[in-house]
Copies of this chain bind each other. A is one copy, B any other.
Amino acid sequence: MSEPSFAPRPTLEAVAARAGVSRATASRVVNGGEGVRAPLVERVRRAVDELGYVPNQAARTLVTRRNDAIAVVVAEPETRFFSDPFFAQQVRGISRELTAHDNQLVLLLTEGAADYARVGRYLAGGHVDGALIFSLHADDSLPVLARRAGVPTVIGGRPGWSDGETLYVDCDNRGGAREAVHHLLGLGRRRVAHIAGPLDQTASVDRLDGFRDVLPETDPQLIAEGDFTPEGGARAMAELLERCPDLDAVFAASDVMASGALRVLRQRGRRVPEDVAVVGFDDIVSVADWTDPPLTTIRQDIEEMGRLMAHLLLRALEPPAQGAPGVPALSSIVTPTRLVVRGSA
């Protein structure tokens, strides 16, 4: 297991020889067997089995220019990537779609901007046919890298710029936020606070904008910035309580932050939802369903968004539609959200 294997892997040549056919025919069989007579197919198949032949990908890629592999690049410190269920769900969606189309998912981790050069080389080196990029912060250079590498890309979440050309998949953050606030107001709450995500990410900005759409006159003291971690949510909640002890509702920009906020509210003796109603965002079941009380939240279908990202990318990789006029160009996707009412509001 530990030794480099010394027996060189068999080549197509060897398979062809053993089956008594030309390399071209062997290749045809290996790639599906279209247009090869049955008995030959059979012989080649047997030779493949007997020799344990597996095509050399480097050689194949060199001529086909396809890898059947897609990179997923996460612009986030590993720690958060691994601890935030959001990513896990999105990756699962991506993984499903990619696997269904026989593409390999290659996860590229970055421990910070220092790794970008390496990622850039990897992308430019032609290891993958496309890239999926997550969780961009303002001015992140990853998409530029990908573009420079000539790698088609789809971004998770609306990017900070808009060139009408960049493909992305996002949920209706702004609309969802509005719904959250409307729900709280419908409950008769009048001092609604907001725990925002990091404002260098569009998702946070969009949710804040939705909040402001409904409550344009909100006291700035009722808004605190978190960082999409439980601790950040807790910290923001503590700040808010200090600044506005009379608040009676909180809309947190993520379930994870909401869970931190709930902890602080409990510590301070505020009852939820009686004293303070709380609404989250995401509907990450493993979080929202386990808090005490269970979290009312705005649901976005994260796994589906992952699947859509992969789907969009795969379509972008297809040869440009020809002969079929009126095939719509590919465009970004914004998925709907909906309110899920549990115990916290």
Contacts and interface: CB of A to CB of B under 8 A. Distances in A.
Interface stretch (A20-28, A85-93, A248-256): A85-93
Given A109-B107, A126-B56, A150-B9, A2 B165 contact: yes
Contact of A107 (B3, B4, B106, B111): B106
A147 interface: yes
A316 B115 contact: no
Given A56-B126, A124-B54, A152 B1 contact: yes
Interface residues of A, number: 65
B146 A1 contact: yes
Copies of this chain: 2
Contact of A109 (B1, B79, B95): B95
Contacts of A102: 118
A286 interface: yes
A336 interface: no
A92 B82 CA distance: 10
B78 A95 contact: yes
Given A2-B152, A4-B152, A109-B95, A62 B56 contact: yes
Contacts of A78: 88, 91-92, 95
A125 B127 CA distance: 13
A83 interface: yes
Interface of A: 1-5, 7, 9, 52, 54-59, 61-62, 69, 78-79, 81-83, 85, 87-88, 91-92, 95-96, 99, 102, 104-109, 111, 115, 118, 121-122, 124-127, 143, 146-155, 163, 165-167, 286, 316-317, 330
